[in-house]
Amino acid sequence: MRISCLRILATGLAVLLPCGALRSQTKTQTPPPVENGAAVAVEVYESTTDLKESLQPKDSLSFGATRAPALTIAVQPAKTYQQMEGFGASLTDSSAWLLFTKLDSSQRKDLMEKLFDPTRGIGLSFLRQPMGASDFALDDYTYDDVPAGESDPELQRFSIAHDQAYIIPVLKEALAVNPHLKIIATPWSAPGWMKTSGELIGGRLKPEAYPTFAKYFVKLVQGYEAVGIPVYAITMQNEPMYIPNDYPGMGMNGQEQAVFLRDHLGPAFRAAHLKTKIMIFDHNWNLIEFPITLLADSKAAGFADGIATHCYGGTPAAQEELHSRFPDKPIWLTECSGGDWQTGRILEEQANLIINSTRHWAKSVILWNLALDQDHGPFKGGCKTCRGVVTVNHASSPSTVATTVDYVALGHASKFVVPGAVRIDSNTFGHGSLDDVAFRNPDGSIVLVVLSGSNEPVLFNVEWQGKYFSFTLQGGSVATFRWYPSQAQRH
């Protein structure tokens, strides 16, 4: 069955169209570097607010001496910021189950290429894996569940067998397409017997369970590595300042996380010689007192490789505060979901997230569910209107697959900004005008992503090394520009 692409019209109506055209449109080839003195060609890819055009290649432009009487975005590669690690989403239990059980092998292969191949698709390079059940799962589970009233302090019953049914097979298929894919693992809850509530819902981690929970992380990393899936990083707890009442969760304040990291998890990873990074926090921008408290503990901070943030409260500017206080602690945006609560120019909203998160030091932008079905599920609780990067509609047989607006927004960065790129300086004009962010890839190519927040078409210039090109962008639309300097101009 051919995969279809979702088109969201200005009225909000979602329409499925064949993806063949999109695939051919998004396939790009790297041009050779130009020689000194030759005009530098600029590739252009645009998506309109109604998604009638999605990552659509436009006629190439060239830098020249003429500047139009309009706003100018100046790109300055000599001034650099964070190194980028990529863009992605979360292969939740629900997402993996849909991909593995509701698609045939041909459909799944096609979709893996569209998601993870930078030529045939958008080149996603990050997946965030719940360690056990989250709100998007078929059942409540962890890797060491025992009957009520029992415990397993030596973790003799620890097993990743649940994940081997369909999560690990899908992960391996993704890694086959993109061997450099990075995996982040995050628990929503410790096993119930480790918690004050005695179950996966509610409660906090018992202090006497701290060393056992640290060992639980070690066994997860080792278990995944044993089946050929390296775990790049873990976070200690998803949204530790929020305890949900209808799906697995666990409270853990900044001081508790500092003790757990300092005295248990950090030493356990060191003793096991794990290279997996440990990220702290993993919660909303408006709650950054948490990482500030934790990192004030110098011994705990010594085990912290960086800070994970979410988008559901506050603004990306909070990351500026964290960077200014802790410049040696990188920042990753590890979760942000779109959904039915978004109306109007949704592409603009999602592109704005990517642009402003990275302008404020995020090394990654990771959306929430990689795939959900036609009913926004399966889910255990929590969000009932969340949107996946793709939608698997299994209401009838055979199932169909549609990419969503999130696929397009991610693609404007993930397809062109490769891991190892650095963000470079560019001025921006902010909400309601032009928002932008610029990067330099390891091969020297420069990528500029521009979003128009205007209601009218906006003519603007891009300046680089004293040369200019001009472009007109429709309101709510996004454009990615890529150019290859000559060998002599590369840094």
- d(CA 416, CA 411) in angstroms, rounded, equals 8
Mean pLDDT of all residues in 413-426: 98
Q: Indicate the fold that domain 86-414 takes in CATH.
A: TIM Barrel (3.20.20)
Q: Is the pLDDT of residue 485 over 70?
A: yes
Q: Please indicate whether residue 327 or residue 490 has the higher confidence score (pLDDT).
A: 327
pTM of the predicted model as reported, rounded to 2 decimal places: 0.91
State the pLDDT at residue 459: 97
- All CATH 3.20.20.80 domain ranges of the chain, comma separated, are 86-414
How far the first Cα of the chain sits from its last, in Å, is 46
- All CATH 2.60.40.1180 domain ranges of the chain, comma separated, are 38-83+422-489
State the pLDDT at residue 38: 67
Q: Which of 19-33, 241-255, 379-393 has the lowest mean pLDDT?
A: 19-33
Main-chain dihedrals φ then ψ at residue 87, nearest 5 degrees: -135, 150
- d(CA 293, CA 370) in angstroms, rounded, equals 32
Q: Is the pLDDT of residue 11 over 70?
A: no
Mean pLDDT of all residues in 154-171: 98
423-448 pLDDT, tens per residue? 999 999 988 999 999 999 999 999 99
- CATH code for the domain defined by 38-83+422-489: 2.60.40.1180
Q: Is the pLDDT of residue 30 over 80?
A: no
Mean pLDDT of all residues in 284-303: 98
Cis status of the peptide bond prior to 248, with omega within 30 of 0 = no
State the pLDDT at residue 160: 98
Identity of the residue numbered 190: A
178-209 pLDDT, tens per residue? 999 999 999 999 999 999 999 999 999 999 99
Percentage of the chain beyond pLDDT 90 is 90
- Residue 422: is it exposed, middle or buried by C-beta count within 10 angstroms (0-12/13-18/19+)? middle
Spell out where 28-83 has E strands.
41-47, 56-62, 71-83
